[in-house]
Amino acid sequence: MHTFVYQRATSLADAVAVLKAKPDARPLAGGMTLLPTMKLGLAAPSDLIDLSAIGDLRGIRRNGDRVVIGAMTRHAEVAASAEVRAAIPALASLADGIGDAQVRNRGTLGGSVANSDPAADYPAAVLGLDANVLTDRRTIAADQFFLGMFATALDAGELIRAVEFRVPKRAGYAKFPNPASRYAMVGVLVADYGGSVRVAVTGAGACAFRVPTLEAALGKQFSAAAIEGIEVSASELNTDLHGSAEYRAHLVGVMARRAVAAALG
Amino acid sequence: MVEVKSNGLIGQAVKRTEDLRFITGRGQYTDDMSRRQMVYAAMVRSPLAHARIRSVDTSAARAAPGVIAVYTGADMAADKIGGLPCGWAVKNKDGSAQAEPAHPAMQVERVRHVGDHVAVVIAETQAEARAAAELVNVDYEELPVVVDARAALAPGAPQVHAEAPNNLCFDWELGDASAVAAAFSKAAHIVKLDLRNNRLIPNAMEPRSCIGDFDSSTSENTLITASQNPHVIRLLLAAFVFGIPEHKFRVVAPDVGGGFGSKIYPYPEDVIVLWVARKIGRPVKWTATRSEAFLSDAQGRDHYSHVELALDKDANFLGLKVDTIANLGGYLSTFAPAVPTYLYGTLLAGCYRTPAIYVNVKGVFTHTAPVDAYRGAGRPEATFVVERIVEQAARQLKIDPAELRRRNFIPTDGFPYQTPVALTYDTGNYHATLASGLKLADYAGFAARKAEAAKRGKLRGIGISTYIEACGIAPSAVAGALGARAGLFEAATIRVNPTGSVTVLTGSHSHGQGHETTFAQVVADMLGIPMESVEIVHGDTGKIPFGMGTYGSRSLAVGGAAIVNATRKVIDKGRRIAAHLLEASAEDIEFTGGRYVVKGTDRAKAFGEVAFTAYVPHNFPHETEEPGLEESAFYDPKNFTYPAGCHVCELEIDPDTGVVEIVKFSASDDFGRIVNPMIVEGQVHGGLVQGIGQALLENCVYDESGQLLTGSYLDYCMPRADDVPSFQVMTECTPCTHNALGVKGCGEAGAIGSPPAVINAILDALSGLGVTDVPMPATPHVVWSAIRAAKGRQVA
Ligand SMILES: Cc1cc2nc3c(=O)[nH]c(=O)nc-3n(C[C@H](O)[C@H](O)[C@H](O)COP(=O)(O)OP(=O)(O)OC[C@H]3O[C@@H](n4cnc5c(N)ncnc54)[C@H](O)[C@@H]3O)c2cc1C
């Protein structure tokens, strides 16, 4: 690992200012992705701006039909939150299924979403739960946020403040873990907003995406049977050591049905 | 041979005495150690699988902060440092010698696998060394690559070594080809299979680490290294690499966090740290990163085999024919040639009385990391071949797999049994382990469980493996005749201290096996003293007279037997001293419960009194005895030992996803006599997890250009606790006939027996769908693909 300057920001404005002044500086959340990448020599930031002391970035609150979660909120906090469990139990259970206890105690919502790892769980929730990503300068709708593998709509130096999820009538998340990493090989979040349904998939493609055919079928009838037999195209999906695109496409269907079953309780 | 009887401690599940220091973080591993003025090494490794080194520019690295020196392969060659020797010479079919290309610790002209050594950077801190290593600029000319062993044999394949035309290291055979041909010509059934034994990365918990040190005032060389056998490292490095005398060379293998075979061998880093320490006059430490462990630890398995079994009309086995191609990697590791030959071909009889067997093995170089012994070493590969083809025969002939095995087992009264592939099994009872294994598994009740699972949409299967293995490596004369370049005995010294406590010096090495407990149990039991009075010392050539180390489940069967012999010498000398003190003749004195007693009387001397007399010899038989009480023994086994057993795997498959869940795993093993059942159970559990890991999860994959695709835990799938069920294990016992403890060894059995049990169970679960083969590892994707392909065939 190369030498770098560590500093702890005291406010969002402070962090944004440093990031603006130093183009090679990077924000540090829980370090769960950033530090291993640095150790492997894949990233060599000049400065790490630790966000953990910025109180505004932390916390979970209900705001009308939205649940707003601060960027620095740890996965374990989301998993255990009474607010989240009451409003969107699928989101709590998704957070509870990320990595292991150590990772859940360090890893953050903002870090995960900013990173847009194609196999991360949260992107499925952000997209499936019709969320807005609130940054230091604007609001980005989920449908505009994930642009590709490790690519988002965030500008250089732009910081996520919070993510606000729209509370569905019911929702379910089903994850097929990669046997080795236990990240999502395919994760499907299904959210029923009464008439309209959102189906978001992570793990299978370059970044999280929605599946209109499944959404349409579930919009008509919210049941696992309604999507039985609907084939998902493999053409844009990932092929790697652990699974072909065809396998992932098949798993999208299986996990979507399991997510619906979970939503129906 | 007189058997050692238990006086109570042998056979007890004594808690491991070493664990207090391990679980409280007070173990002393190599990386925990420092020496004065110590500096750090970082390796510059090839990022390419095959390339010519045009030039190495070290100037930027030399100028980097903290850097003391940068050396290249050329510097090492100039110092005339020898390459790493190979410890085993296999002969080709035609009697000629194996191809044995040199294995320099750092390359001068050409690199042959990703991770191959090109240069070393020495700096004041580890971070500085690693940072500077990135500044070494190597100009490579990329050359074509071959990673697959079959492809390496094809005409026109890229060549790994000029000394090994067609990449062939050896073309070896064992058995009687004409007898096999005759058996096949009269067969009623012939069953065939093509099998791949997947390549594995050992992944010991402690990455390799070593410290080299040289004291110019005494000319003493010291190497502290995470090794399974310090004496062998010293022998090989002293004699073949450095040309320094052994009395000026101390090798220490302190606490070692697992090896599984990968820490048997001397590695380039061992050579490099000592060489550099001698050059710069300061101690040099190197510790692998986990990424380096993936790239540079010797890997395991990697066979392709074609197998054919001939049976008569009553399903008696008539003959077995096996063709295997074994991947040896880019260089010959120390025992690489032995693993796919003498530790593999000799086990192809399994537990069966197959009268004719022939095996041909081609050992092949490829542009991958070296392959050598990994937990089981050759026997898992043999067991996979035998137990898969037996299962296949049962399915094809529609005979219950357990019944087919019973029909062909070597009968219980058939021992000693001479196999057609060189080994003589001394004892065993395969019917007993099969019967108890099936009972443990409730084999009889399986059909009902399968029907119940089907109602839940799950495909349930059961699979058996009745393995045998050869442990207690090895009778030196036999090993020598088979190509070993070293003896395989073991040494022990029992040093009784004046106040009666005992220090045991053993050439075996514990790196997780619990020797400090098991060996102490044996000695304390024999001497009738408390275990706390016995200290086991191992892992230091400066303290222990000699040793051949730990691998091949040899520690108790060979090392323990040496300890027994030395302890008996102590008891006998003590008897003569006691006779003097008691004014009786030695023949009239029996040693029982830690006391020398004049038979039929109450006159006795405690062991401690006799020990004290030996060191304070005022009233002592000086005419016939020397003072002191310390004895040594070298023990060379008469035969291998042959643990055997029955593993039964029961699992459920989710047909929607291909996910395999093992719901029950039962093992009935015959390890001979057992000194500590808790430790044995732990060894079985660990072995089973590794075997199940091979069957379902673990796979070392290189892409076509020789890049390791599974270079971290993101992609190399290590088994976790929730991947395996709670195991049901038990033992049967036919004592080994040729060592005093009657023990056979248990360290590898779990990894040897379990993979075919798992795959056989998967094939059983999927048999209704027409699936006839599933490769290892049977990941969800693999299983789903097999199901889909079978469905496609049915539709077509
Ligand atoms: C062993 C292990 C297992 C894991 N398993 C899973 C899993 O199963 N599923 C899963 O989804 N994830 C998994 N993860 C990832 C984990 O969930 C972390 O959330 C993720 O790595 C991000 O880490 P972090 O929050 O600590 O962010 P960091 O590592 O600190 O940062 C990640 C990136 O985001 C940037 N960043 C951080 N905060 C902000 C912000 N507020 N605004 C803008 N940019 C920001 C950083 O500069 C950096 O580029 C795993 C990680 C590990 C180490």
**For the CA of A28, the nearest atom of ligand 1:** 30
Q: Are residues B718 and A180, on separate chains, in Cβ contact within 8 Å?
A: yes
Task: Tell the burial category of A31 from Cβ atoms under 10 Å away from its Cβ (0-12, 13-18, 19+).
Answer: middle
For residue B401, the number of C-alpha atoms closer than 13 Å in the C-beta half-sphere is 27
CB-CB under 8 Å, A2 with B131? yes
Write the pLDDT tens digit of every residue in A79-126. Answer: 999 999 999 999 999 999 999 999 999 999 999 999 999 999 999 999
Residue type (1 letter), B215:
D
Residue B2 has pLDDT above 70, yes or no: yes
- B325 and B157 in contact (C-beta within 8 Å)? no
- For residue A1, name the pLDDT band (cuts at 50, 70, 90): low
Tell the residue nearest (CA) to atom 37 of ligand 1: A111
**Distance from residue A37's CA to the centre of ligand 1 (Å):** 11
The response to whether residue A214 sits with its C-beta less than 6 Å from ligand 1 reads no
pLDDT at B796: 64
Domain boundaries, chain A: 5-47, 57-264
Contact B226, B206 (CB under 8 A): yes
Rounded Cα distance between B708 and B765, Å, is 33
Whether residue A250 lies within 8 A of chain B, CB to CB, comes out as yes
Q: Does ligand 1 come within 6 angstroms of the Cβ of A116? A: no
Give the span between the Cα atoms of B464 and B455, in whole angstroms: 24
Interface-testing mutation among A181, A231, A238, with chain B (most B C-beta atoms within 10 A): A181
Does position B795 have pLDDT exceeding 80, yes or no? no
Could you tell me where the DSSP H helices lie in B511-631? Answer: 515-527, 561-582, 607-615
Q: Is pLDDT above 70 for B711?
A: yes
Question: What is the number of other CB atoms lying within 10 angstroms of the CB of residue A72?
Answer: 25
Burial of B772 (0-12, 13-18, 19+ CB in 10 A): middle
**Quick count: other Cβ atoms within 10 Å of Cβ B419?**
21
| Cα A28 to middle of ligand 1, angstroms | 9
Residue of A nearest to B788 (CA): A247
Q: What is the structure's pLDDT at A2?
A: 79
Q: Mind listing the pLDDT tens digit for each residue in A56-85? A: 999 999 999 999 999 999 999 999 999 999
Per DSSP, the residues of B338-392 read: TTTTTTTGGGTTTTB--SEEEEEEEEEE-SS--B---TTTTHHHHHHHHHHHHHH
Instruction: Find the CB nearest A241 among B291, B656, B715.
Output: B715
pLDDT digits (tens, 9 = 90+) for A210-232: 999 999 999 999 999 999 999 99
DSSP H helices in B158-229? 177-185
A215 is written with which tokens? Answer: 């959404």
Res. B509: pLDDT tops 90:
yes
Contact B438, B402 (CB under 8 A): yes
CA–centroid distance, residue A252 to ligand 1 (Å): 24
Asked if A181 and B780 come within 8 Å (Cβ–Cβ), the reply is no
Sequence-ordered list of residues with C-beta below 8 angstroms from that of A203, at least 6 positions apart, any chain: A118, A119, A175, A176, A178, A183, A184, A185, A186, A187, A238, A248
Sign of the Cα torsion B331, B332, B334, B335 reads: positive
- Closest chain A residue to the Cα of B701, Cα to Cα: A241
Torsion angles phi and psi, residue B736, rounded to 5: -60, 140
| Burial group, residue B151, by CB count within 10 angstroms (0-12, 13-18, 19+) | middle
Q: What is the dihedral of CA A123, A124, A128, A134, to 10 degrees?
A: -10
Does the C-beta of A109 come closer than 6 Å to ligand 1? Answer: no
The stretch B525-536 carries a mean pLDDT of 97
Which chain B residues have any C-beta within 8 angstroms of a chain A C-beta?
127, 131, 134, 291, 656-657, 697, 699, 701, 709-710, 713-718, 779-781, 784-785
Which chain B residues touch A176 with a CB distance below 8 Å?
657, 780
Average pLDDT over residues B506-518: 95
Q: d(Cα B209, Cα B226) in Å, to the nearest integer? A: 6
Average pLDDT over residues B349-378: 98
Alpha-carbon torsion (B587, B590, B596, B602), positive or negative: negative
Give the pairing type, strands A66-70 and A132-135. Answer: unpaired
Q: What is the pLDDT of residues B145-194, one digit of tens each?
A: 999 999 999 999 999 999 999 999 999 999 999 999 999 999 999 999 99
Read off the pLDDT of residues B199-208 as tens digits, 9 standing for 90 and up: 999 999 999 9
Output the pLDDT for position B196: 98
Expressed in angstroms and rounded, the spacing between residue A117 Cα and the centre of ligand 1 is 8
Give the SS3 label for residue B154.
coil
Name chain A contacts of B656, Cβ cutoff 8 Å.
Answer: 254
Best residue of B708, B781, B785, B787 to probe chain A, by most A CBs closer than 10 Å = B781
Mutating which of B292, B657, B694 best tests the A interface, going by the most A Cβ atoms within 10 A?
B657
A195 pLDDT more than 90: no
* Ligand 1 mean position, distance from CA A13 (Å): 22
Mention every residue, 6+ apart, whose C-beta is less than 8 A from residue B497.
Answer: B503, B611
At residue B21, φ and ψ (nearest 5 deg) are: -70, -30
> What sections of B423-560 are H helices per DSSP?
430-440, 446-455, 476-481, 515-527
Amino acid at position A254, single letter? V
**Which two tokens mark B462?**
């059961």
- The helix or strand, by DSSP H or E, that contains position B786, with its residue range, turns out to be helix B780-795
- Decide whether any atom of ligand 1 lies within 6 Å of the A159 Cβ: yes
Range 139-198 of A in CB contact (< 8 A) with B: 176, 179-181, 183
Is A261 an 8 Å CB contact of chain B? no
| Per-residue pLDDT tens digits for B535-573 | 999 999 999 999 999 998 899 999 999 999 999 999 999
Q: Which residues of A touch B657 (CB under 8 A)?
A: 176, 251, 254
User: What value, to the nearest 5°, has the Cα angle with vertex B443 and ends B440 and B449?
Assistant: 110
Neighbours of B150 (CB within 10 A): 15
Ligand 1 site, residue A259, Cβ cutoff 6 A: no
Task: Count contacts between A and B (CB, < 8 Å).
Answer: 41
How many Å apart are CA B203 and CA B201, to the nearest integer? 6
> Is-contact B777 B200, C-beta < 8 A?
no
Give, to the nearest 10 degrees, the angle between helix A245-263 and helix B780-795. Answer: 100
- Which among B701, B780, B784 has CB closest to A179? B780
- Which CATH class, in words, describes the domain spanning A5-47? alpha beta
pLDDT band at A3; cut points 50, 70, 90: confident
Calculate mean pLDDT across residues B653-672: 98
Mean pLDDT for chain A overall: 97
Going across the sheet that includes B604-606, the strands are B589-592, B595-598, B604-606
Buried b (16+ CB within 10 A) or exposed e, B507-544: bbbbbbbbbbbbbbbbbbbbbbbebebbbbebbbbeeb
Cα gap B624→B609, rounded to integer Å: 19
Q: Considering only CA atoms, which of A255, A138, A141, A137 is closest in space to residue A202?
A: A255
CB contact under 8 A, A181 and B714: yes
A242/B779 CB distance under 8 A: yes
Judging by beta carbons within 10 Å of its beta carbon (0-12, 13-18, 19+), is residue A10 exposed, middle or buried?
Answer: exposed
Which residues of chain B are within 8 Å of residue A100 when distances are taken between CB atoms? none
- CB of A247 within 8 Å of a chain B CB? The answer is yes
Residue with tokens 């039964």: B648
Residues of A in contact with B715 (CB under 8 A): 180-181, 241-242
Q: What is the mean pLDDT of chain B?
A: 97
* CB-CB neighbors (< 8 A) of A181 in chain B: 713-715
Provide the token pair at A241: 């050591």
Read off the pTM. Answer: 0.97
Q: Please give the class, per CATH, of domain A57-264.
A: alpha beta
Compute, in degrees rounded to 10, the torsion defined by CA atoms B296, B298, B304, B305. Answer: 180
Q: How far apart are CA B330 and CA B116, in angstroms?
A: 9
Which residues from chain A sit within 8 angstroms of residue B131, using beta carbons? 2
CA of B38 to nearest chain A CA: how many angstroms apart?
21
Give the model confidence (pLDDT) of B389-408 as tens digits.
999 999 999 999 999 999 99
> For A180, which of B134, B717, B784 is closest by C-beta distance?
B717
Inter-residue contact B598 to B604 (CB < 8 Å): yes
Q: pLDDT of B719-731, one tens digit each?
A: 999 999 999 999 9
* DSSP secondary structure, chain A, as one string: ----EEEE-SSHHHHHHHHHH-TTEEEESS-TTHHHHHHTTS---SEEEE-TT-GGG--EEEETTEEEEETT-BHHHHHH-HHHHHH-HHHHHHHHTSS-HHHHHH-BHHHHHHHT-TT-SHHHHHHHTT-EEEESS-EEEHHHHEEETTEESPPTT--EEEEEEEPPSEEEEEEEE-TTT-SEEEEEEEEE-SS-EEEEEESSSSS-EE-HHHHHHHHH--SHHHHTTPPPP-TTS--BTTB-HHHHHHHHHHHHHHHHHHHT-
The domains found in chain B, sorted by start residue, are 37-143+203-296 (3.90.1170.50), 145-200+300-408 (3.30.365.10), 424-469+641-796 (3.30.365.10), 489-635 (3.30.365.10)
Q: Hey, what are A110's tokens?
A: 């903002």
Distant-in-sequence, close-in-space partners of B206: CB < 8 Å, separation ≥ 6: B29, B31, B226, B256, B257, B258
Q: How far is CA B764 from CA A185, B98, B450, B652, B657, in A?
A: 27, 41, 11, 10, 18
pLDDT at residue B73 tops 80:
yes
